[in-house]
Amino acid sequence: PAMALRGNVRAANLIQHLGGGVIDTGVVDNYARPPEAATVALTMAEVKRGLGFDVPIEEIDRILTTLEFKSTISNQQSTILVTAPDHRTDITGPHDLLEEIARIYGYDRIPRTAMDDEMPPQRGNPPLEFEERVRDLLVEAGLFEAITYSMTTPQHEARLLPGERPDDRPYLGVANPISSERTHLRHTLLASLLDVARSNIHHHERLALFELNKIYLVSEDGPLPDEPRRLTIVMSGPREPESWLGGDRSPLGFYDLKGVIESLLVGLSIGGARFEAAQHPTYYPGRTARLLVGDKQIGLLGQIHPLVREAFDLPDQPVLAAELDVEALAACVPASIRISGVPRFPAVTEDLALIVEDRVQADRVQTVIESVGGLLKTARLFDVFRGEQIGAGKKSLAYRLTYQAERTLTDAEVVKVREQIIQRLRQELGAVIRG
């Protein structure tokens, strides 16, 4: 408001010079309570303390005058009385004047000085640092972060449970919703992320999104809600973009999503994770797993059920999703990491193929193999085969075994460990060794 008079004077001046107008005398002003100009006393001691160096009082007077401040230097040359122009309503104290002085005087002229004291202790924020690490790892894996509305409707989230009873947990209502589609706080990130997927998949053939954010659950301990944090991933489309070089144009599948989760676990140095078959109405039967670390369930992952896909108007192609508990995941990160040096002696590698019942999970087989320990360092599944040669209801699994020691291993030592592995596989899983 204080600029109104200045603007009117300028307008009258333009009318006079450009339009031949005649300026009448006087000003009609209906500004009942014009603000009083802020007057600040700035001492040279405050300048030294605030900026860390001395600025001559004459230089301060010049800078402030240039910025349309009115300044008066005291007789003792130790204080300058400053009145701010009427349009600078942001000036309330000496700290505001110091900002103006430093800006005009030049930050490059501030001398470099070493601290007299030791650096103060740095206090980290482990939860925030963990989440930033998760985001970095997922971006490195080729995913893009999305941020969706925290508000939804119970009916919208009920689409995630086709043919099932809706979530019977009470929702938190919004007192003044911005629209009829944002009336309650969400229980899951997945519904919102599937909406984003629908909007994007019509413009981009390949989709890889994640969101790390809060959900809101009614608390039994008080009026405020619980706000657990969740990580949700949604992927769909071809494995590789279209190119004149060709490439793999097959659709992303369950194991592509599982690979992203595994790379996340490796980046967080979380060991002992396993995937077990699971059932959930949101996901396709037989293409769903739960992630466990030890005995603690971290989340679910799998292919979205066709009925859910249709409910969210997604195209007829596989859509993969994962929902992880962020707090549970963070609790699995080890406090310290043990690192081994580069081996000085060559490793021994061999392949082991075995036949087991189709119901036996490969993860269970690997656990039995690794339980031998000792010279066995790694066991990696590299082939799965089903066919008439194997027999109905059976499958063949091939593992690459690596043996390592702080010496050159002999054939006899490797054979001894191999026999222990075979014996355990036969006893615990009824496995038959091939070839």
Looking from the CA of 265 toward its CB, the CA atoms found within 13 Å total 20
Looking at domain 348-433, its CATH superfamily turns out to be: Ferrodoxin-fold anticodon-binding domain (3.30.70.380)
Q: Distances in Å between the alpha carbon of 20 and those of 28, 71, 167?
A: 22, 38, 75
- By CB atoms closer than 10 A (0-12, 13-18, 19+), residue 361 is middle
Query: Quick one: pLDDT at residue 1?
Result: 61
Helix (H, G, I), strand (E, B) or coil at 377: strand
What pTM value is reported for the model? 0.72
Helices (H) and strands (E) in the chain, counts: 12, 16
291: three-class secondary structure by DSSP? strand
For helices 126-140 and 254-267, what crossing angle results, to 10°? 140
According to the model, what pLDDT value does residue 412 have? Answer: 93
Please tell me the distance from the alpha carbon of residue 330 to that of residue 265, in angstroms, as a whole number. 11
β-partners of residue 43 are 79
Q: Which of 403, 398, 408 is nearest to 418 (CA)?
A: 403
Please state which architecture CATH assigns to domain 35-109: 2-Layer Sandwich (3.30)
DSSP assignment of 200-223: HHTT-S-EEEEEEEE--B--SSSS
Q: Which of 321, 343, 310 is nearest to 209 (CA)?
A: 321
User: Distance of alpha carbon 225 from its chain centroid, rounded?
Assistant: 22
So where are the chain's domains? 1-30, 35-109, 128-331, 348-433
Among residues 68, 76, 90, 78, the alpha carbon closest in space to that of 48 is found at 78
Q: What pLDDT does residue 2 have?
A: 67
Contacts of residue 112, defined as CB under 8 A and 6 or more positions apart, other chains included, come to none
Contact 275, 291 (CB under 8 A): yes
Mind listing the pLDDT tens digit of every residue in the chain (435 residues)? 667 778 888 898 899 889 888 888 778 877 777 777 778 999 999 999 999 889 999 999 999 999 999 999 988 888 999 999 888 888 889 999 999 999 999 999 888 887 778 888 888 899 999 999 999 999 999 999 999 999 999 999 999 998 777 777 889 999 999 899 999 999 999 999 999 999 998 888 889 999 999 999 998 888 888 999 999 999 999 988 888 887 888 999 999 999 999 999 999 999 889 899 999 999 999 899 999 998 899 999 999 999 999 999 999 999 999 999 999 999 999 988 888 888 889 999 999 999 999 989 888 899 999 999 889 999 999 999 998 888 889 999 999 999 999 899 999 999 999 999 999 999 999 999 987
> CB under 8 Å to 315, separation ≥6 — which residues?
201
CA distances to 202, 255, 307, 318, 352 from 207, rounded to whole Å, are 10, 16, 20, 11, 37
Strand segments, DSSP code E, in 294-365 are 296-304, 319-325, 348-357
CB neighbours (10 Å) of residue 215? 19
Which residues pair with residue 229 across a beta bridge?
214
**128-331 has which fold?**
BirA Bifunctional Protein; domain 2 (3.30.930)
